[in-house]
Amino acid sequence: MHTQGAHRASGGSVKLSVRKSQKEATRQRVLDAARDLFETQGYEETTVREIARKAEVSVGSVFTTFSSKGDILSQVMTDRLDALYAELDRVIPSLRGSTTDRLRSMFAIHFAFETRRTRLFLAHIAAAYDWRLAPGARPYGKTPRLRMIVRDCLTDGVARGDVDPATDLDVIIDALMAIYAWTYRLAAWEDADAAAMSAVFDRQVGLIAEGFRPRKAAAVAS
């Protein structure tokens, strides 16, 4: 009887593992399908039914894994951003120059990465202004990792002496994130590439840097 019980337990474990694998496979098909649809036809125009059809699963299966279309977009971007931040973790320690230079380099990496799927990132930005998103959704602006790496750069700048310690870092972070997102209008309107957008962004960062430069340094420069 003990052996029979062990077999039943083993069989139950196998079934559970199979169901988990099937659920993960369904989840990945949904994410792959959504990523392609969001990029080719936009977030607003894409329906959950279309995602399910492209993923070859039922609409019910989609909602078993995700609470909403906004949740799907959040997960698509989270999965992509994991690769971006892994790249940044590797590169940031080797960045040189002033805080302004390092900010430019960090965001240049962002531009180069996101322009691999520009329209998908535009959908991510656009979702930030969708008032119907569920509270748990994470459109552009609600991804804390970007704010954290910018804050770390500015905090290090304070320690290095090229960022005024009296500066409100949250204001600077908000300004940088705002101009980064706004620069993508050039991709939407003019099909600008990463280099063109980085050049525009670099000039804007230079203006913002005038606001956080230590006052003594500003006086000497003038």
Instruction: Give the C-alpha separation, 196 to 199, whole Å.
Output: 5
Instruction: Give the C-alpha separation, 192 to 186, whole Å.
Output: 5
pLDDT at 212 over 60: yes
Length of the chain: 222
Determine the average pLDDT of the residues in 184-211: 97
- Alpha helical stretches, state H, 42-164: 48-55, 59-65, 69-91, 99-114, 118-127, 144-160
Domain segments of the chain as ranges: 1-66, 76-221
Q: What whole-number percentage of the chain has pLDDT above 70?
A: 88
At 82, the pLDDT band (50, 70, 90 cuts) reads confident
Amino acid in the structure at residue 106: M
Question: CA nearest 146: which of 166, 128, 167?
Answer: 128
Average pLDDT, the chain: 88
**Domain 76-221 homologous superfamily, CATH:** Tetracycline Repressor, domain 2 (1.10.357.10)
Helix (H) or strand (E) holding 176: helix 169-183
Instruction: Give the C-alpha separation, 49 to 39, whole Å.
Output: 16
Report pLDDT digits (tens) over 88-117. Answer: 999 999 999 999 999 999 999 999 999 999
Task: Please indicate whether residue 8 or residue 148 has the higher confidence score (pLDDT).
Answer: 148
Determine the average pLDDT of the residues in 58-73: 90
Please say whether the beta carbons of 107 and 182 come within 8 A.
no
Determine the pLDDT at residue 220: 46
Q: What whole-number percentage of the chain has pLDDT above 90?
A: 62
Report pLDDT digits (tens) over 20-34. Answer: 678 889 999 999 999
Determine the average pLDDT of the residues in 57-65: 92
Instruction: State the CATH class of domain 1-66.
Output: mainly alpha
Determine the pLDDT at residue 9: 56
Determine the average pLDDT of the residues in 158-173: 96
Helix (H, G, I), strand (E, B) or coil at 12: helix
Which two tokens mark 208? 């913002």
pLDDT at 207 over 90: yes
Instruction: Give the C-alpha separation, 64 to 107, whole Å.
Output: 36
For the entire predicted model, the pTM comes to 0.82
